[in-house]
Copies of this chain bind each other. A is one copy, B any other.
Amino acid sequence: MYRDQTRFLIAVDCIVFGFDGEHLKILLVKRALEPEKDKWSLMGGFVKPGESLDEAAQNVLNLNTGLKGVYLEQIQAYGDPLRDPIERTLSVTYFALIDIHKYETQINDEYHAEWFLLKDMPQLIFDHDEMVETAKRKIRYKAALHPILFELLPKKFTIPQLQNLYEDVYNTQIDNRNFIRKLTSTGLLIKLPEKDKSGSKKGAFYFKLDKKKYKANFQAFLNLIPKPDKLVMG
Q: A83-105 toward B: CB 8 Å interface, digit per residue (1/0)?
A: 00011111010000000000000
A10: contacting residue among B10, B49, B80, CB under 8 A: B10
Please name all residues of chain B whose beta carbon is closer than 8 Å to the beta carbon of A53 when the two chains form the complex: 77-79, 90
Number of copies of this chain in the oligomer?
2
Q: Do A8 and B10 contact each other (CB < 8 Å), given the known contacts A52-B81, A53-B77, A80-B52? A: yes
Cross-chain contact of A51 among B49, B81, B86 (Cβ < 8 A): B81
- Determine how close the nearest CB of chain B comes to the CB of A87; give it in whole angstroms: 6
Tell me the count of chain A residues lying within 8 A, CB to CB, of chain B. 41
Listed residue (A79, A145, A221) with the most chain B CB atoms within 10 angstroms of its CB = A79
Indicate if A47 sits at the interface (CB-CB under 8 A).
Answer: yes
Alpha-carbon distance between A179 and B48 when the two chains are bound, in angstroms:
51
Q: Tell me if B2 and A46 are in contact (CB < 8 A).
A: yes
* Cβ contact of A49, chosen from B2, B52, B81, B218, cutoff 8 A: B81
Contact B228 A221 (CB under 8 A): yes
C-alpha gap A78/B77 in the complex (Å): 10
Report if A74 contacts B (CB, 8 A): yes
Q: Do B234 and A229 touch (CB < 8 A)?
A: no
Residue numbers in B under 8 Å from A221 (CB-CB): 228-229, 233
A69 CB within 8 Å of chain B = no
Q: Which residues of B contact A219 (CB under 8 A)?
A: 232-234
A8 touching B6 in the complex, CB below 8 Å, given contacts A81-B50, A88-B49, A219-B234: no
Chosen A-B contacts, 28 in total, with CB atoms closer than 8 Å, are: A1-B86, A1-B87, A2-B87, A2-B89, A6-B48, A6-B49, A7-B8, A7-B9, A8-B8, A10-B10, A10-B79, A10-B90, A47-B90, A49-B81, A50-B81, A51-B81, A52-B80, A52-B81, A53-B78, A77-B77, A79-B92, A218-B234, A219-B232, A219-B234, A220-B229, A221-B228, A221-B229, A221-B233
Q: Identify 16 new A-B residue pairs, CB closer than 8 A, beyond the known A7-B9, A10-B79, A54-B79.
A: A2-B9, A2-B86, A2-B89, A6-B48, A7-B8, A8-B8, A8-B9, A10-B90, A51-B81, A52-B81, A53-B79, A53-B90, A77-B92, A145-B233, A219-B233, A219-B234
